[in-house]
Chains A and B, each alone.
Chain A
Amino acid sequence: MRRNWPVLLLGLVLLIGLILPLASGAAPAGFYVEVLLGGLMTGVLYSLVALGFALIFKASGVFNFAQGAMVLFAALAVARLAEHMPLWAAIVISLAIMVLVAWLIERLVLRPLVNQEGVALLMATLGVTYFLDGFGQTVWGSDIYKIDLGIAKEPVMILEQVFQGGILVNKEDFVAALVAAALVAGLTIFFQKTATGRALRAVADDHQAAQSIGIPLNRIWVVVWSIAGLVALVAGVIWGSKLGVQFSIAQVALKALPVVILGGFTSVSGAIVGGLIVGVGEKMAEVFLGPVLVKAFDLAGGGIENWFAYVLALLFLLVRPEGLFGEKHIDRV
């Protein structure tokens, strides 16, 4: 417990950074809340991608670099299929495709590599990332596509009485947040209450013990990868409808890496909280810290949200390598 003070210090600095713009009067309250909400919404997207990471890592010890590529692949599938059929049908078929893809990855790539070092597995999923990026764009095309969820996109003004000028909010963002919350709730119930979920948790705790009491590891891993495919699909649809489906999704999804470091590799709730912290943190940094830096160092523009999450994760690694909610066990060198 003695080691807790650096974490507290880091948290304190972040908290001060969060409050300072409002307290110093640099930003009007309405604008501040808008930025905060925007950050939270981005954070939800990060959380969704990070959730996929955490699920697979927990159950099979594989650090799935390809989660971002899976998100892109799913989003492309939905966008292109929806051109020919109603949206719900496109989503159902995409789900089937994602389960198939997940199953194939597990079968062809990771099964032969069972018991290899984590780094070899990481590189294998890097290979999968490249393959999926190329394959997805070969099959579905590489333009920018749209997913239309049929929700009004124009922003709504709310809380006009509370803040001067009100707050602009996208209805879509709220739906996205609701869907994400529903997904997490559903997953939690699945993990806690169903037999398969219990088996999954058993495998996550100890592969060998789980196998020795008769849990079929192979089937469990297929299930886990399929769930990761489902999470990727949800993330892809939400992201695609918000920002359009294009190649950059796979790159932005890399942000989920610092998120899982922040939250802890094995923790579902960590993925959610970490995503929100990163989302809010980088938006705040971009909007409020960015201009200060630009002025102080005479920079050619802001853009610190590109690295903020990573550097935050780096600092976090130094003070608390296991993340906020991760298990304490980590190889100290």
Chain B
Amino acid sequence: MLYRENGQFKSSYAADQQMLPILQDRVIMFAALVFAFAAVPLIASDYLFLSILIPFLILTLAAIGLNILVGYCGQISIGHAAFMAVGAYAAYNLAVRVPGLSFLVVLPFAGLVAAAVGVLFGIPSLRIKGLYLAVATLAAQFFMDWLFARVKWFTNYSSSGSVSTAPIELFGWVIETPVEKYVFLLAVLIVFTVLAKNIVRGHIGREWMAMRDMDVAAEVIGIRPVYAKLTAFAVSAFYCGVAGALWGFMHLGSWEPLAFNLNLSLNLLFMIIIGGMGSLLGSYFGAAFIVVLPILLNQVPAALGIPMSTAMASHLEFMIFGALIVVFLIVEPHGLARLWAIGKEKLRLWPFPH
């Protein structure tokens, strides 16, 4: 009853093209932003920040990156953690070798390096697709794992192979407490979400979707496959590189070579399958789901008084993830985002569905 667009007329091109065309959406979005920026820092505990909110924000960014490639351009990748690793190590090396550099320089640099590597490993996608591409990206994953574990230069000759970072300083603001990290990450995520939204609804995003839906037809109407695919790889890897740098600097602080392993890649893929492929909102849902589920699995049985070992919990987690993937693929291939859209549609018609 409250959620409908009756009487909201668009009288200019700008109004026609705005991101949230319905007034109610704008109100809700504004309220959500106020809540996230003002209320959450006041009420959330440190535990909530460190184990849920911060990983959620960073992984959402990475999931958006993967979604651009898989969901929008239709190129599968099971090696995206490799690009996160590239971003993290690029940021680390720049920060270590050029002391005093602003993080606002380091972060895009990490993204750009990751984008370059992404294009490199995206080149096979020009000749192959689907399953073959999966193996090609797997090659990226294992090669990067090895590279950062073995080549000492990348870890600045640290004896254990693990690296640690100093807290980030931004114009004299040292981002150290969980609340500060949260606010910073939230701001970064919002900037990148708006950016992604505009990329995917702009001409380049439409090219990607055309490539995804039918590459031959796209080529016939004048879309260059090389350009479309490689830009998708570049943008996707850029997002993951930024996310990787944030993951290293903000969440882990210090990390070992295998912090960005195949498991993380697969988790990213699960996020966008469960959340919804080809949907930015879905990336949020999926990341939230993947971050929260293991914590729930650890705490619910304990709260109910069922004894469960950590090993058991982790096996259960595997089983539930696996089963959920299959269920989602069969029942709702467009994921949670699709369910959300259906709910919204229902709300528009409620309470008179006819």
Contact count A vs B, C-beta below 8 Å: 154
Given the interface contacts A122-B131, A122-B134, A318-B124, does A131 sit within 8 Å of B143 by beta carbon? no
Distance (Å) between the CB of B145 and the closest chain A CB?
7
- Which of chain A's residues have a CB closer than 8 A to the CB of B149? 300, 303
Q: Could you tell me if B319 and A130 are in contact, using CB atoms closer than 8 angstroms?
A: yes
Taking the complex as formed, is A15 at the interface, i.e. its CB lies under 8 A from any CB of chain B? no
A135-173 interface bits toward B, Cβ cutoff 8 Å, 1 = contact, 0 = none: 101100010000000000000000000000000000000
* Number of B residues, CB within 8 Å of A: 50
Query: Are A314 and B139 in contact, with the CB atoms below 8 A?
Result: yes
Q: A124 on the interface (CB 8 Å rule)?
A: yes
Closest-by-CB residue of B relative to A301 is: B150
Minimal beta-carbon separation of B287 from chain A (angstroms)? 17
Contact A254 B138 (CB under 8 A): yes
Contacts of A261 in B (CB 8 A): 132, 135
Give chain A nearest CB distance to B231 CB in angstroms.
Answer: 15
Cβ contact of A298, chosen from B152, B262, B322, cutoff 8 A: B152
A131 engages B136 (CB within 8 Å): no
In the complex the two chains form, is A109's CB within 8 Å of B326's CB? yes
Least distance between A95 CB and chain B CB atoms (Å): 23
Asked whether B326 lies within 8 Å of A131 as measured between CB atoms, the reply is yes
Contact A311 B152, beta carbon cutoff 8 Å:
no
Q: How far is the CA of A299 from the CA of B161 in the complex (A)?
A: 11
A-side interface mostly: helix
Contacts of A118 in B (CB 8 A): 130-131
Q: Which residues of A contact B330 (CB under 8 A)?
A: 109, 112-113, 124
Contact, CB under 8 Å: A131 / B138? no
Q: Chain A contacts of B199 at CB under 8 A?
A: none
Known: A297-B151, A332-B127. A310 touches B322 (CB 8 A): no
Min CB distance, A22 to chain B, in Å?
A: 26
Given contacts A254-B138, A307-B146, contact A124 B315 (CB under 8 A): no
Task: Give every chain A residue within 8 A of B325 (Cβ-Cβ).
Answer: 123-124, 126-127, 130
**A217 vs B30: C-alpha distance when bound (angstroms):** 55
B170 within 8 A of A: no
Q: Tell me, rounded to whole Å, the shortest Cβ–Cβ distance linking A333 to chain B.
A: 6
Residues of B283-342 whose CB lies within 8 A of A:
311-312, 314-326, 329-330, 333
Indicate if the CB atoms of B312 and A138 lie closer than 8 Å.
yes
The answer to whether A128 touches B326, judged by C-beta atoms less than 8 angstroms apart, is yes
Choose among A117, A134, A300 the residue that contacts B161 (Cβ–Cβ < 8 A): A300
- Specify which chain B residues have a CB less than 8 angstroms from the CB of A310 in the assembled complex: 135, 138-139, 142-143
Any B CB within 8 A of the CB of A106? no
Shortest CB distance A121–B (Å): 9
Q: Contact between A317 and B215 (Cβ–Cβ < 8 Å)?
A: no
The answer to whether A138 touches B316, judged by C-beta atoms less than 8 angstroms apart, is yes
Q: Type the 1/0 row for B101-142, where 1 means its CB is closer than 8 Å to any CB of A.
A: 000000000000000000000001111111110111011001
A304 contacts the other chain (Cβ, under 8 Å)?
Answer: yes
- B139 to chain A: closest CB distance in Å? 4
Interchain nearest-CB distance for A102 vs B (Å)? 15
Residues of chain A within 8 A (CB-CB) of B146 are 303-304, 306-307
Residue of A nearest to B225 (CB): A333
B interface SS class: helix
- Answer yes or no: B273 CB below 8 A from chain A CBs: yes
Known: A126-B269, A300-B152, A311-B143. A131 touches B319 (CB 8 A): yes
Q: Across the interface, name the chain A residue whose C-beta is closest to B273.
A: A123
Q: How far is the CA of A116 from the CA of B333 in the complex (A)?
A: 11
**How many A residues face the partner with a CB closer than 8 A?**
53
Alpha-carbon distance A267/B269, docked complex (angstroms)? 29
Please indicate which of the listed interface residues B136, B150, B321, B322 has the most CB atoms of chain A within 10 Å of its own CB: B322
Residues in chain A near residue B131, CB distance under 8 A = 63, 118-119, 122, 265
Residue pair A299, B150 in contact (C-beta under 8 Å): yes
Q: How far is the CA of A118 from the CA of B329 in the complex (A)?
A: 12
Whether B143 contacts A113 by the Cβ 8 Å rule is: no
A311 B139 Cβ-Cβ under 8 A: yes
Chain B residues within 8 Å of A298, by CB: 152
A63 to B135 Cα, complex, angstroms:
11
Which residues 79-118 of A have a CB within 8 angstroms of B? 108-109, 112-113, 116-118
Is A182 on the interface with B (CB-CB < 8 A)? no
A54 CB contacts on chain B under 8 angstroms: none
The closest CB in chain B to the CB of A135 belongs to B319
Residues of chain B from 58 to 99 with CB closer than 8 A to chain A in the complex: 74, 76, 78
B329 A134 Cβ-Cβ under 8 A? no
Least distance between A257 CB and chain B CB atoms (Å):
5
Cα–Cα, bound, A127→B125 (Å): 24
Q: Return the contact of B322 from the options A117, A128, A307, A311 (Cβ within 8 A).
A: A128
Question: Cα distance A265–B329 when bound, in Å?
Answer: 24
Interface centre among A109, A123, A134, A303 (most CB of B within 10 A): A123
> Do the beta carbons of A134 and B319 come within 8 Å of each other?
yes
Cβ of A237 within 8 Å of any chain B Cβ, yes or no, is no
Q: Contacts A123-B325, A124-B326, A300-B150 hold; do A333 and B127 have CB atoms under 8 A apart?
A: yes
Residues of B within 8 A of A297 (CB): 151
From A117, A137, A317, give the contact of B124 (CB < 8 A): A317
14 additional contacts (CB under 8 A) given A122-B130, A122-B131, A123-B329: A108-B326, A122-B134, A124-B326, A126-B78, A126-B269, A127-B323, A131-B322, A134-B316, A134-B321, A257-B135, A306-B142, A307-B139, A321-B127, A333-B126
Shortest 10 CB-CB contacts between residues of A and residues of B: A134-B318, A131-B322, A127-B325, A130-B322, A310-B139, A134-B319, A307-B142, A127-B326, A134-B315, A299-B150
- What would be 12 A-B contacts, judged by CB atoms less than 8 Å apart? A63-B131, A122-B134, A123-B273, A123-B329, A133-B322, A134-B315, A265-B131, A300-B149, A300-B150, A303-B149, A307-B139, A314-B136
